Each structure stands twice: as structure tokens, then as C-alpha cells.
Chains A and B, each alone.
Chain A
């Protein structure tokens, strides 16, 4: 008994004062209220400024309160946590507000009619019309670019990971890195001078596809390379030790193991080039009519359509609404691609179940 009493009296070295669980929320609420108050009192008219003040107050307040109650080490821990939260919100708020704005302005004219009709006989100032021709153009141009870029990109990555040794591989890696940094307008100008000015071909969806393929290829190479590197060497050795030739090992063991990741990379690359405007502007030229032949005559495309509608709208009116609705369609398209990529990655991922 006396033994227990002694232990009770001794201060525990393992226990210390700690803030209650709800304290971060309280500090957050307090700093938002204070930030609003300071904003109103000082007459700042931008809510972004209020938010920034609140964020700084939140981080500082967390540190000061935690340092007083819990001690310096816990305070540092809490300041790191609160910084992470503030940065997370700072990243998410613009994204969420972008999607919200696009949805709000886009749904006005976004309907089945909009998706299934072109701008053929609709003047820019009049309501009506749609994006059928632009969707068609985007699908064809992106499709052709994918058909060109994916085999080249995947095979390049296979070369780099499975075969590449020495100077050639280093050179290829270097140029892929350089290509990743090519601005899209430069790729567009290159195809413009090569395909349209030197070879004397006309504006067409295919010319746009060539430029998009240039932009897509390094992304595909990079992501595929990373995925192939993730395949454990033991699997390659296991296959080789069974007397399987190297090319079959790559085809039947390495690529199937990484196909989920490769597909995801390809889908993300597609999503990236779908929104490219500059090369399309230079090479595809745009049209208000339905042109389903990507090899002849100008086509439309979604980003180009958005640009042209907005340029002709003077900030309001029917063309302005159509630009937003087309932007919504473009975001939706990219989002669907991402979802498909996730689905494929999950479906193809190596299974671990029993």
C-alpha cells in the first residue's frame, strides 16, 4: 500500500499537460473570426486578405498556445501540422472554386442539344449551336496523337529500362527530358514550319495530332519508364531462369505486371494534351462546321472552341455562355479519362487476395 502511495506522489515523466482534442478547431474558428474582424476594421475589401490574415493567426496562435500549455516540442509538432493544413486548404480552395465557377456558368446552356449540334449556321452573337464538331475534332486529334505517341513512347521506355546501356541510353534520356520541357507553342511552330510551310500540307486535324504527339511522347516515356523500373528484377530473373527469351519475358511478364501503371500514365498524358490550345490554334485552325476527316481541311477542337467563343463574346452573351459550357465539357472529359485510368489501374493491379 505504501508503495503505491509513493508512486502516486512522484510526478510522472511520461505524462504532460496537453490541449484538448477540439483545440485546433477552436483556434481555427478564433483566427477566422479575428481575421474577419481585422479585415472589417481595417477596411480591407478582399476576402483573400482576410483569409491570409486568418491563416497566419491560426499558425501563430497554435504555436503560442501549444508552447504555453504543452511545451516547445509539442508546439513545433503542432505548428508543422497546422502548416500542412493551411497549405492543403490553399491548394484546394482555388481548385474547388474553379470547378464551382465552371459548373455554375457552364450548366446554363449545357444540354443534349449543346452536345449534339455544331455551330454551322449559328452566328456567334446568337444563342443556340453546340460543340459536336469540337468534341469530334478533339476526339480524333487526341486519338491520332495517342496512336502515334503511345507505341513510340512505351517502346522507348522498354528500351531505356530493359536494354539501354551506355551513351545511347543516356542521350535518349537527356532528349526525353528536354522534350518534356518543350512549350506547346514551340511544338506547334515546329509542325507548322515542317508540315504546313515546307511540305505544303494544309491545316488539318492531323497536323495538330503531330504536334500533340510530340508533347505526349516524353510524358508517356517518363511514366512508363518509372512503372517498368518498379517491376522487381526477381520477376525478370524468374522468367529468364525458366528458359524464356528476353523479349517474351518483357512481353509476358514485365509489361503485364506494370500495365496498370502504364495505362494510368497514358491516360494522364492524354488528359494533358486534350487541353492544349496553342498547337491546335496554329495547325487545326478551327471551323464552325462538322469536319469528320482529320486529314483534310480545318477542324474544330474543344480548347480552340472555348478560346474562339470567348474571344468573340466581349465578356457576356450567348458566345460567353457557350465558352463556359464547353469548358465544363472539357473538364468533364478529362475527369472521365482520369476515372477510367483509375479503374484500369485497379483492375489490372497485381492481385494479392487469397
Chain B
């Protein structure tokens, strides 16, 4: 079910500004890949190119290839909407739909896409909420608005919403940066469970978090402000945090820079 991502020579622009340049990497299926690096180095931009959300930003465009199991996401005739159904996303700030109940939020992806069986909806919602470790907390108030939950619960609701449409890949853009340590722990545990089923890519500013949850870690950096961000190296997390092959990575991780 999970799919491999192969990126080669990817460059992304905002208008005439080059945000990231010439990035190539492989994201293994059924594993967690973490992106670390200083602010503004293009981690989030790169993440958004993986499900064609980058082009939603006015002026956003991309050169290069992103292969999802040998199919180029930027090839001719590829429907970005179909891509986003395969590659789901969780955002930095929890963003449940404020007009919808908890149940409707989880069902939103299926309902708004229109292809679902009514009879299966209850099961899918329950399964997704259980998958996001939220079921026990909300099972008695599925009809209450999703915005009434705490921040950590809202973020798990957003994860439930994302996995309800059964994507192959799950992108997470700093999913814990707005949460307290306990909610963060809940989400990290969840990531560990979800990687059995999905390919997970997570952007994080928290290096301990990257070390805790990821199998592989990619370090991004930019030469100077205004310069495009680049991939410095990607390797097994253990190696990146113990014995990285590039000096800049070691400097960043040990806090001597950035």
C-alpha cells in the first residue's frame, strides 16, 4: 500500500524567487523520513512539492521529477487532485473544518470527493479515529464541533481526516510545533504506528523528535539568506546524528550553527 518516492533534480520557485534547487532523494516506503534544517531552507516547500500543494501558492512552480512508484507526479496529464488523494498532508497548525462536527471532519475527504459507500462511512470514521488514537476520547461526542477539541486532539483529528482517504504517503509539516509535550508524545507514538501502513515524511524543527521518530533524516541548508535551499545530505537517522558525512550537518545538529 505504501509507495516509494523518487525525487530527481527538483527545483521550486515562488514567482522568480528560487526557493529550493536541484534536490534528489529517495523516500523509502513504510518508513519515516525526517527533514531538518534552519528556518527558510525550503523543507516545507520541498514537502509541498511532493503532493503538488506548492503550485496552490500564487506563483509557485516546479522543475524536475517526483516519481511515486515510477509515475512522475509532474508528468503530462497528471491530475493534481488525484495526486493529493494518494499523498495526504497534515499541517503545522491543526486546521479542522470549523463548520463540521468531529464525525464530518473525518468523513470530509470521502464526502467531498463523493466516492464512498454510505454504509461504510461509520466504519471508516471509527477506523480512522482509532488509527489516530483519538477514538476513545471522542466516541461519545462525534457530533460536537471539531474546533472544541484541544490543540493536540485537533491535530490528531486532522491526522484521522488525512488517513481516512487511505493515502499511500502521509506528509507532515511540523505537526507538533503548536502542541505541548504530552500531545507531541501522543503524535510521535502515532507516527510509529502509522509507518506500518504509510510512507511518512515529517518536517520538524525539533532534532530530538527527528532522532526519536525517523528512520532516515535529510538535512537541508541554504548558503545565505535569499539563496535557494539545498539538500545537504540524507542518511540513516542513526548515522546523521552520530557520524554525519558533512561537516555542516554536524555543526547544525550539535548547535554550533543555525
Size range of the chain A interface in the assembly = 20 to 34
Chain A min CB distance to B110 (Å): 9
Q: Is B112 in the interface zone, CB < 8 Å from A?
A: yes
**How many A-B contacts are there with CB distance less than 8 Å?**
90
Q: Is B51 in the interface zone, CB < 8 Å from A?
A: yes
Of the listed stretches A26-34, A219-227, A242-250, A287-295, name the one at the interface; the rest are far from the partner chain. A242-250
Q: Is B176 in the interface zone, CB < 8 Å from A?
A: no
Q: Mark B151-188, 1 if CB is under 8 A from A, else 0.
A: 00000001001100100000000000000000000000
- Residues of B near A234 (CB, < 8 A) are 91, 93, 95
- Residues of A near B144 (CB, < 8 A) are 353-354
On whether the beta carbons of A351 and B84 are closer than 8 Å, the reply is no
Q: Is B97 in the interface zone, CB < 8 Å from A?
A: yes
Chain A min CB distance to B171 (Å): 8
Q: How distant is the Cα of A237 from the Cα of B161 in the complex, in angstroms?
A: 13
Smallest CB-CB separation from A353: which chain B residue?
A: B148
Q: Is A84 in the interface zone, CB < 8 Å from B?
A: no
Size range of the chain B interface in the assembly = 20 to 34
Within 8 A of A (CB), among B74-100: 81-86, 88-89, 91, 93, 95, 97-99
- Residues of B near A165 (CB, < 8 A) are 58
On whether the beta carbons of B145 and A351 are closer than 8 Å, the reply is yes
Given contacts A238-B91, A240-B53, A351-B145, contact A253 B97 (CB under 8 A): yes
Q: Which one of A238, A249, A253 contacts B158 once the chains associate, using CB atoms below 8 Å?
A: A238
- Residues of B near A242 (CB, < 8 A) are 84-85, 88, 108-109, 112-113, 161-162, 165
- Residues of A near B111 (CB, < 8 A) are 252
Smallest CB-CB separation from B84: which chain A residue?
A: A243
Within 8 A of B (CB), among A230-269: 232, 234-245, 248-249, 252-253, 256-257
On whether the beta carbons of B99 and A350 are closer than 8 Å, the reply is yes
Chain B min CB distance to A222 (Å): 22
Q: Which one of A232, A243, A257 contacts B99 once the chains associate, using CB atoms below 8 Å?
A: A257
Q: Is B227 in the interface zone, CB < 8 Å from A?
A: no
On whether the beta carbons of A256 and B95 are closer than 8 Å, the reply is no
On whether the beta carbons of B81 and A243 are closer than 8 Å, the reply is yes
- Residues of B near A249 (CB, < 8 A) are 112
Q: How distant is the Cα of A221 from the Cα of B97 in the complex, in angstroms?
A: 24
On whether the beta carbons of A241 and B112 are closer than 8 Å, the reply is no
Q: Mark B40-52, 1 if CB is under 8 A from A, else 0.
A: 0000000000010
- Residues of A near B81 (CB, < 8 A) are 243-245
Chain B min CB distance to A282 (Å): 43
Q: Is A352 in the interface zone, CB < 8 Å from B?
A: yes
Q: How distant is the Cα of A249 from the Cα of B165 in the complex, in angstroms?
A: 16
On whether the beta carbons of B108 and A350 are closer than 8 Å, the reply is no
Q: How distant is the Cα of A249 from the Cα of B141 in the complex, in angstroms?
A: 26
Given contacts A350-B145, A352-B147, A353-B144, contact A243 B91 (CB under 8 A): no
Residues of A within 8 A of B (CB): 165, 232, 234-245, 248-249, 252-253, 256-257, 350-354
- Besides A236-B56, A243-B84, 6 other CB < 8 A contacts? A238-B158, A243-B113, A252-B112, A253-B97, A350-B98, A352-B148
16 residue pairs of the A-B complex, CB under 8 angstroms, read A237-B89, A241-B88, A241-B89, A241-B91, A242-B85, A243-B82, A243-B85, A243-B88, A243-B113, A243-B165, A244-B109, A249-B112, A257-B99, A350-B99, A351-B99, A353-B148
